[in-house]
Structure 1
Amino acid sequence: MYILANEALLFYANRYVDHYYSITSESRNRANTLRIKNAYMLGFIEGLEMKLEEQRNQLQQEYGLVVLMPVVVEERYKKIESGFTGNANPFQLPNIDSINESLAYKRGLEDGETIDYTQSTIHDEIVI
């Protein structure tokens, strides 16, 4: 599922950027492309996270589902965690300061919430 989510994220972000330039008169440049793409991807990830959380809550209510971490995963994480220094810089969300970036973020959020992540391949079900 994670590989599909990553591939979908890249596929839809690139498609959104192509669509963005096809409907605007802006010249395509690296800085603008990165801003639009990053805003879209941030929205998409948050939308996907909201959808997964909604599904988890629904399953928990219906079946009393409790998500448990496998012991092997916990042990492996503890091993990795022992190498952490504690000096990491906190993650900072990028500023979305232009209207175009806000629109890209909003579109990404909507697309992330509507993608069918139960599929094994990416389909063109999200319409631009």
Structure 2
Amino acid sequence: MPAFTPDQWLILLLVFLLGLFLGLALMASPKWKHRYREEVARREALEADNARLRREADEMASLRGAAARDEARRREAAAESDVEVERRVADRRAADRAAAEDDLVRSERLRAEEDELRRRDGPRGPL
């Protein structure tokens, strides 16, 4: 294969420079600038939308966590409330039993006093 001559090298260089200048001229046209600006605006809108969605997802996650903690507290409080109600019922039953026993002791004491008075006064009763 023969080597290039300096004239051929000059022609290749001029063709390369012509292509470079034509490419730069075409890229500098308003049509390409407009498309580039649209692309930038669309990218920025998508990034803003993604940031908004990320914030909403973080907020939803924190609300979901707060709701779970609240539900756990509510269940715990309900369990404690049930235990408290059972304790109060047991205390009330014990108090009712104690009151019934006191009433029984009083009624037995009154019967004993009535029997004692009847024995002292005799079968006729007081005059």
TM-score range with shorter-chain normalisation?
A: under 0.3
Q: Which has the larger radius of gyration?
A: 2
TM-score normalised per structure 2: 0.28
Quick check: which one's helix share is greater? 2
Task: Work out which structure has the larger RCO, using CA pairs closer than 8 Å and 6 or more positions apart in sequence.
Answer: 1
TM-score normalised per structure 1: 0.28
